[in-house]
Amino acid sequence: MAEALIVRASFSDDRVRRCGNGVRGGASLAAALTRLQEMLSGQEDMNSSLSNQLVSVTAATVRRLQACAGLLARAVLVVGLAVSAAAAGAQTSVTLYGGARGGGDFEDASGNGNIFKLKSGGAASASIDWLLDDGRVGQVFYSFQRSALPGKAFGQPVDVAVNISYLHLGGRAYFEGDARNGGGYVVGGLGATFFSPGLGGLDDEIRASANLGIGWEWPLARNIALRTELRGYLTLINSSGQFFCSGGCVVSIRGNTVTQAEAMLGLSIGF
């Protein structure tokens, strides 16, 4: 009898140990499954984050490429016209100007009457001129200014920088005198205006424009002259509320035209 009880007790202890081992094995398996699920969830979050970063990088790259393409197009146009003038055997001159430009504003598209004025400031310009057969002068003209708009135009606490560039093809015609002897002249041109805001999320804009002005040229020496000019610029905007912004802007601005005036002094060198 005693021996039977001992055998039965040993058998029972053995079953308990196997049961315990089974429970511990099941718990380990459940923990492993939980950890695997967490790893998969973390991988999904990582993939989502990488996708968002890729979209941001791609958008930034596209904006940089667009800006570079605009600069390249301007450079190619200027160089091409200069080479054409030189190839034609025309008397050519290059003029570098320094001056000041002011004027230009936009309207709040919400209709509350707010007017956002472009900041006045210095401007740098350059022109390539060549003598035409009829005595007039052909010209490629480029002018650049670092301006700004009030921050509230874009929901910002500080002013937002806006670079404004003009690239025009035109010419000069003297009232009296000529390109060799100097004197007073009228100047003008047609081309494009390039607006480039310095705030992320805003778009560059290109619009048709024209300039008209008067000037005076003083010959200083052979092939060297001093010029002073006063030019007015007119840019056709025709925006009803999405200028600089293709969507999602806090504040939208609009306008029909932008007018600016620039006074400049330049040194011309002929060759």
What CATH number is associated with residue 124? Answer: 2.40.160.20
Average of per-residue pLDDT values in the chain: 77
Indicate if 56 and 103 belong to the same structural domain: no
Sequence-ordered list of residues with C-beta below 8 angstroms from that of 209, at least 6 positions apart, any chain: 166, 168, 190, 191, 192, 193, 233, 234, 235, 236
Whole-number pLDDT of residue 203? 86
SS3 for 37?
helix
| 162 Cβ contact partners less than 8 Å away, ≥ 6 residues apart | 118, 147, 148, 149, 195, 196, 197, 198
Domain tally, the chain = 2
Query: Which residue, chain included where needed, has tokens 């990582």?
Result: 46
In tens, the pLDDT along 95-131 reads: 999 999 999 988 887 777 789 899 999 999 999 999 9
What residues in the chain have per-residue pLDDT under 50?
A: 1-12, 15-20, 22-23, 50, 54-57, 59-60, 62, 85-89
Which domain covers residue 26, as residue numbers? 1-64
Q: What is the pLDDT of residue 179?
A: 78
Q: Tell me, what's the pLDDT at 271? A: 86
In a domain, 69, yes or no: no
Answer for the pair 185, 175: CB distance below 8 angstroms, yes or no: yes
Kindly state whether residues 8 and 112 are assigned to the same domain: no
CB 85 within 8 A of CB 137: no
> Does residue 183 form part of some domain?
yes
Residue 53's identity, in one-letter code, is Q
Where in 84-223 does DSSP place strands (E)? 92-102, 105-108, 115-117, 121-131, 137-149, 160-174, 183-197, 205-221
Q: Are residues 27 and 132 in the same domain?
A: no
Per-residue pLDDT reduced to its tens digit, 4-39: 433 444 444 554 444 445 445 555 655 655 665 666
Q: Is 103 left (phi over 0), alpha (psi -120 to 50) or beta?
A: left
Res 23: pLDDT: 41
